[in-house]
Structure 1
Amino acid sequence: MYPKFPLPLLVSSAKCFRSCVPVRAFQHLSRSSLRIPTRRYASVAAPQCHSSQSSDSPTVHSFFEENTSTWQYVVLDPATREAALIDTVLDYDPSSGTISTTSADRILSFIETHGLKIKYVLETHAHADHLTAAQYYKKKIQVPVGIGRRISTVQETFAPIYGFSPSSFVDTFDLLFRDDEEFSLGNLSCRVIHLPGHTPDHVGYVIGQTVFTGDSIFMPDCGSARSDFPGGDAKALYSSMQRLMALPESFRLFVGHDYPIGRDQLCMSTVGHQTDSNKHGGKGISESEFIAFRNARDAVLGTPHLLHPSLQTNIRGGRLPRDTMGRLAFKIPIITSVEL
């Protein structure tokens, strides 16, 4: 999920003031000290297991993080027990500035219980609606973090807004994937595909007959993600959706978020199901119809409430920012029409 804001306003010193919001990182506070229900910080439903009949496809364990409606994935080659983590969540409560690792620790416990060997932490894009736990996993289990190489475009866009220097991005990611680059996960072959539209850096991961789509497509009854992020584009998003729907009908598609109405959370569909039923980009819906709908819809969407903390963390591979005094803190740009 992404923002609608005028970038010239954000980078104009006359119109943009920055407030620093302190961050309490990795502190485990008591319930009484929080003064709000514990579930406010993180709520991870019991993981779902999605096995495959195909020997060249992974077993997928999905974890739903309720506060941000994010699907996190443990992707496993059952033959070797090698696994990858895709689109992880670091829990953040903006009202108190508290970061915790409840979601990540639960997945780490799952990994340990099942004897998995984590080979990668993978990002589909620089998320603007939740913080990534990639850096936490890297520190805990010494695993490399990968993302599409166009993350540099997003970094260049937001560096002046948040006051990041070029040195802030040195070695933020361990792996920068090229379009159609291939790598292995145990005995499984993996391929990176560029899926722009939601964001310019967006990629998907094709592992056998399974694709992790991030926010390039949602469940058929949810349709599509917004495309008004800087560098986002409704036409490109439609093309990315059509690229996914051109795959064999039996391919499994695992989405990055789900926003159900009147049903339980779902994470998986098939290419055939998406082609027949996706309400925004399925068969019978033209490119021009999609663009008109998507642009009109995006025009009335609000800014994601974790936008600024998410971007400041995620474009740096999960590293938390510090202020000029070395304290952990997020910068929140302020848009105003008056001088105060």
Structure 2
Amino acid sequence: MHPTIQPFFDPATWTVTYVVYQRERAECVIIDSVLDYDPKAGRTSTESADKVIAFVREHTLHVEWILETHAHADHLSAAPYLKHHLGGRIAIGKNIRHVQGVFKAIFNLEPEFRLDGSQFDHLFEEDETFAIGGLTGKAIHVPGHTPADMAYQIGDAVFVGDTLFMPDVGTARCDFPGGDAHALYRSIRKLLDLPGGTRLFMCHDYPPEGRGPAWETTVSAQRERNIHVHDGVSEAQFVAMRKARDATLAMPTLILPSVQVNIRAGELPPPEANGMRYLKIPLNAV
């Protein structure tokens, strides 16, 4: 199977959202959507999501699934907004429950916030398959960046989330709560054991100077040229590199607003007594 893939690149967060479908069929899936957020004003907007909606409607597609590869730390999810306008089921890996437990404590969320993943319509098991019309998807558990990361294989394409970046950028950080460089190495090797021609689609690109944004590569290209994890790099070498590099990285600009929204499947916190919704900024906690 060779699905048709339409990317939408958001330059504000360097995120790529995908609409995946099969020509001559109406069914589609949306992966890693973006709700625009202005951290200075504390305002959300839907320009990025509206582009996805326009494309889906223009091509008379029917949304079956709205997938999250993980609870993102660099952008807010637009999944509920897309579901409201287009339908579909919001899904993520079952280990989101662990991430919810960690961040409920950090943000001291309301007692009613449940730690069972029930905010999502579906929680994927490891290697669970799902249908998108005539296409078959497979959920692949790839922990390391977070405990809940999933990659989604649809035909000859794999949407890797933050597990891998383009070969000249490398791999995801592992210093968030629950991150594990050993687990990330093994997850990456699982992906790189796929056939060499398998298409890999990144969730983000942070291009080096002189290169424009890019988001598609192959297993072979990653094995040959990934600056962090090409063939020949041992687990011990990778872990040492990852730990040293992560120690130098600043936190993502939107990590605090993003995580507390994304563990809710993209829903904003409930309104308080005055009718307003608030995001929390825990001090000296992350």
TM category (shorter chain) comes to over 0.9
Residue 323 of structure 1 deviates from its aligned partner by 5.4
Residue 95 of structure 1 deviates from its aligned partner by 0.4
Residue 116 of structure 1 deviates from its aligned partner by 1.0
Q: Name 1:25's counterpart in structure 2.
A: none
Q: Answer whether contact 2:64 2:87 (CA < 8 A) is retained.
A: no
Q: Name 1:223's counterpart in structure 2.
A: 170
Q: Any runs of at least 4 consecutive aligned residues in structure 1 with deviations exceeding 4 A, and if so which?
A: none
Q: Name 1:306's counterpart in structure 2.
A: 254
Once the two structures are superposed, residues 289-308 of structure 1 have per-residue CA deviations (whole angstroms, 9 ceiling, x without a partner) of 11111000100111111111
Q: Name 2:266's counterpart in structure 1.
A: 318
Once the two structures are superposed, residues 111-164 of structure 1 have per-residue CA deviations (whole angstroms, 9 ceiling, x without a partner) of 111111111100000001100000111112222100000000000001122122
Q: Name 2:35's counterpart in structure 1.
A: 90
Q: Answer whether contact 1:226 1:294 (CA < 8 A) is retained.
A: yes
- How is 1:173-192 mapped onto 2 (pairs within 5 angstroms)? 173-192=120-139
Q: Answer whether contact 2:27 2:132 (CA < 8 A) is retained.
A: yes
Distance in 2 (CA, whole Å) between partners of 1:149 and 1:57 is: 27
TM-score (norm 1): 0.80
Change (3 A) 1:193 1:90: same
5+ residue gaps in structure 1?
A: 1-55
TM-score (norm 2): 0.95
State yes or no: 1:77 paired with 2:60. no
Q: Name 2:280's counterpart in structure 1.
A: 331
Once the two structures are superposed, residues 201-234 of structure 1 have per-residue CA deviations (whole angstroms, 9 ceiling, x without a partner) of 0010011111000001111000101011111111
Larger Rg: 1
Distance in 2 (CA, whole Å) between partners of 1:211 and 1:101 is: 27
Q: Name 1:292's counterpart in structure 2.
A: 240
Q: Answer whether contact 1:79 1:186 (CA < 8 A) is retained.
A: no
3-state SS, counterpart of residue 283 of structure 2: strand
Q: Name 2:227's counterpart in structure 1.
A: 279
3-state SS, counterpart of residue 71 of structure 1: strand
5+ residue gaps in structure 2?
A: none
State yes or no: 1:152 paired with 2:97. yes
State yes or no: 1:258 paired with 2:205. yes
Residue 243 of structure 1 deviates from its aligned partner by 0.8
How many residue pairs match? The answer is 281
State yes or no: 1:269 paired with 2:269. no
Residue 183 of structure 1 deviates from its aligned partner by 0.7
Superposition RMSD in Å: 1.3
Q: Answer whether contact 1:79 1:187 (CA < 8 A) is retained.
A: no
Distance in 2 (CA, whole Å) between partners of 1:165 and 1:178 is: 27
State yes or no: 1:237 paired with 2:162. no
Q: Out of 135-144 and 183-192, give the one that drifted further.
A: 135-144
Once the two structures are superposed, residues 232-257 of structure 1 have per-residue CA deviations (whole angstroms, 9 ceiling, x without a partner) of 11111111111111000010000110
3-state SS, counterpart of residue 332 of structure 1: coil
Q: Answer whether contact 2:62 2:86 (CA < 8 A) is retained.
A: no
2:79 is matched with which residue: 134, 146, 155? 134
Distance in 2 (CA, whole Å) between partners of 1:257 and 1:88 is: 12
Amino acid of the residue matched to residue 120 of structure 2? F
